[in-house]
Structure 1
Amino acid sequence: MEKISEVMNTDVQTISPDATIEEAAQEMRDGDFGLIPVGEEDDLLGVITDRDIAIRAVAEGKDPDTPVREVMSEGVVSAHEDDSIEEAAQIMSDHQIRRLPIVDAGNRLVGIVSLGDFAVESSDISAVAEALSEISSPP
């Protein structure tokens, strides 16, 4: 059984909780992604998504210089680097998320997995596909 550490992307960009939401939006645009883990050193404090910026900032009339910490999502769902690919896929399915931060035993961010990583890398694709088929399905 493959571990999630075998398919995760270890080149994870993080943003400081003190960065502005404008900086976060620019990083999302430049990197073509919709989620950035928020951290200090390697501690995962939360994530900020394009939806967080739209709903918790723009829709509420917040300025572009609003700190990320004011609009980020806390209580981040993550998987452990030793979890199987199937376990990580099930977590993503259960929580209806497309990107999953991966942490080590010390709860330090070591990688991130997106839906595309499973399709390209996993040899156990049928089990993964079954677990992921629920993502974005109507409840």
Structure 2
Amino acid sequence: MRVSELMSTDVCTVDPQQSLQMAAQCMSELDIGILPVGENDRLVGMISDRDIAVRGIAAGKGPSIPVRDVMSKDVKYCFEDQEIEDVTRNMADQQIRRLPVLNRDKRLVGILSLGDVALAEAGSRKMQHVGNALAGISQPGGEHSQSDGRL
């Protein structure tokens, strides 16, 4: 199965110059915890509710600072034509629960979450990809660990 068959295609993006408050309001309205950051039709970062809390508020930054100041710039992504098995293995290795999905022209076309994969696999009574990915993600440490000293 390919990523394009499971990804969510209704993706809201924020501009890197928008305020943290605007990004947080968008997350609240959409009931999501992460947003792709786009500039000039290109993916330049990701911002999560955790970025806002840890790199923003906990670091003493106010709601009016730009998204660019707290977003994750090292964006992990996958392509829409990749196999789910390969992508979930990478998600486990990188300890990531959600990935932006790009086409081969590197344009954002969707988001893939472990929830998307779980829903598809639940229907087939086969949960190995989600289980393997979740086991890898749940290991202590990783890029977004609270104990890594980054704020």
Superposed pair shares fold, TM > 0.5: yes
Q: Give 1:131's aligned amino acid.
A: N
User: Percent same amino acid at aligned positions?
Assistant: 47
Size of the alignment, in residue pairs? 138
In the alignment, does 2:148 pair up with 1:128? no
What are the equivalent positions in structure 2 for 1:1-139 lying under 5 Å apart? 2-122=1-121, 123=124, 125-132=126-133, 133-138=135-140
Q: 8 Å contact 1:86–1:127 — kept in the other structure? A: no
SS at match of 2:13: coil
Q: Which stretches of structure 1, 4 residues or more, deviate above 3 A after TM superposition?
A: 122-127
Offset of residue 22 of structure 1: 0.4
Listed as ranges, the gaps of 5+ residues in structure 2 are 142-151
Q: Deviation of residue 41 (structure 1)?
A: 4.5
Instruction: State TM-score, norm by structure 2.
Output: 0.84
Q: Tell me, yes or no, if the aligned pair for 2:114 and 2:130 is still in contact at 8 Å.
A: no
Q: Output the TM-score relative to the length of structure 1.
A: 0.91
* C-alpha RMSD of matched pairs (Å): 1.6
* Cα separation, 2, equivalents of 1:49 and 1:10: 18
Shift of 1:118: 0.4
Residue 63 of structure 1 aligns to a residue whose secondary structure is coil
* Unaligned segments of structure 1, at least 5 residues: none
SS of residue paired to 1:125: coil
How far did residue 124 of structure 1 move?
8.5
